[in-house]
Amino acid sequence: MKVFFTILCSAWVLFSSGTSIIVGPGSPVRSLKKAIELAKEKDTIRLQAGLYKEGTLILTKSLTLIGDNNPVLDGEKKYEILLISGKNITVQGIVFRNSGYSAMNDYAAIKLVDCSRVTLDRNTILDAYFAIHVSNSVHCIIRNNRISGVPTSEQLTGNGIHLWKSDHALIENNQVQGHRDGIYFEFVTASTISNNRSEKNIRYGLHFMFSNDDTYRNNIFRDNGAGVAVMYSKKVRMEKNHFEENWGASAYGILLKDITDSYIGQNSFLKNTVGIHMEGSSRIEICQNQFRNNGWALKVQASCDDNVFHHNNFTGNSFDVGTNGTLVLNKFENNYWDNYEGYDMNKDGIGDIPYHPVSMYSMIVEQNPTTLMLFRSFMVSLLDKAEKAIPSLTPENLFDNKPMMKKLPL
């Protein structure tokens, strides 16, 4: 009898997984809080259009929460709106707005703590402190969300999508703007960031710390206060991203600090103050990228070693490469430089004399930035020509031995 009862119970649990609860002004359950209380594991809650002000909602059951016609959850600038801790949870199609601000806690519109297999899909988050905050979670998917904040200062604005100590996350097709960092990764491994658009954030479009074995591809990072920073990580793959118009004294397309064994390929860098800035980085392969109209295409500090730059296109940059010392442990090969003035006698498409991408003047500017005032003056071109004939200041080992004569088709 007892066995029979157990089987009956489990069958009941199993078959009831499809039930859905409708929450809305016209239905019996009017509050989402109530619906979450009523719901059993694997239920679906359908939130009808309307404005819900319910303080902080805590979701720990494996539920699917679907918004119909953009229902709005309002945090009244006081509360964290949705706190999720559990597994197999989906939140979809809901508008979150006005989440609270706190100097003590990282209040977020949606916070995920200790989760696994949680999906956030097609949500809209407006005026949040932190928009999506994920910690200690695995296999979470964040996709198709629209996130837009009101930028004030670095202290008063949180990150758009913030992940801490997670792995196997997938961040896809999101649009983030007006936050401190668009996407922030700290101790996140084996994750993918793809097809996102991160723009007009006050600090970085993407900020990466201590996050190994991650990939980001096909993203667009535009007009962020300081571009993209990738720091203290290993085995990061950066492919087919667009880095555009990151302007400022310390703005970079990508800032690489202590990165090793990584790959940067097929990206385009357009109109950044610095395309790639590298510091203390080793064993990075940088190939098939386009560098167009940047202030400096590359700034490779002397602390970098064993990096290989090959088959990139450098066109219309004010300076091709800048560096801060004469020690060069990196390799440049088969790149196309539009400032190359050499010739090709045997017509194999490769220039016969090496190209030195560091000009005398870029060394001078590195030492004394105010001299930027003299850029493109007759004086400076004379200095550059003299330096080309008799190199003294520029690192003589920094050259491309096989510069391409024609632009590479990328």
Partner 1 sequence: MLKLSRYVLYDILRNKIVIAYTLFLFIVSFSMFRMEENGSKALLSLLSIVLIVLPLVSLVFTTIHYFNSYEFIELMLSQPLSRTRILLSEYAGVCLSLLSAFWMGVGIPVLVFSPDPTGLALLFTGTSLTVVFTSIAFLAAVRSRDKARGIGFALLLWFYFALIYDGLVLLILFSFSEYPMEKFTLLLSALNPIDLGRIFIMLKMDISALMGYTGALYKDFFGSGQGVLFTAGIMGLWAILPLWGALRSFKRKDM
- For the bound state, the minimum distance from the C-beta of residue 368 to partner 1, rounded and expressed in Å, comes to 5
Maximum alpha-carbon separation in the chain? 100
Measured from the CB of residue 359, what is the shortest distance to partner 1 in angstroms? 12
Q: How far is the CB of 232 from partner 1 (least distance, A)?
A: 24
- If the CB atoms of residues 62 and 294 are measured against partner 1, the closer one turns out to be 294
> Which residues in this chain contact partner 1 in the complex, by CB under 8 A?
247-249, 251, 271-274, 293-296, 315-316, 318-319, 338, 364, 367-382
CB distance 107 to 101 below 8 Å: yes
CB of 380 to partner 1, least distance (A): 7
Cα 410 to Cα 406: distance, rounded to the nearest angstrom: 12
Nearer to partner 1, 353 or 382 (CB): 382
The Cβ-side half-sphere exposure at 297, using a 13 Å CA radius, reads: 27
Nearer CB in complex with partner 1: 170/380: 380
Residue 2 has φ and ψ, to the nearest 5°, of -65, -40
Structure tokens at 28: 């019996």
346 vs 368, beta carbon nearer partner 1: 368
Q: Is 69 left (phi over 0), alpha (psi -120 to 50) or beta?
A: left
Closest CA to 356 of 319, 382, 333, 388: 388
Q: Which is nearer to partner 1, 38 or 382 (CB)?
A: 382
C-alpha to C-alpha distance for 259 and 131, rounded to whole angstroms: 28
Nearer to partner 1, 60 or 315 (CB): 315
The residues that bridge with 171 in the sheet, in sequence order, are 142, 193
In this structure, what DSSP letter does residue 400 have?
B
CB of 201 to partner 1, least distance (A): 17
For residue 99 the two structure tokens come to 């989440």
- C-beta of 49 vs 372, nearer to partner 1: 372
Q: 């989402």: which residue's tokens?
A: 32
Residue 54 to residue 56: CA distance in whole angstroms: 6
| Closest approach of partner 1 to the CB of residue 363, in Å | 13
Give the nearest distance from C-beta 110 to partner 1 in angstroms. Answer: 35
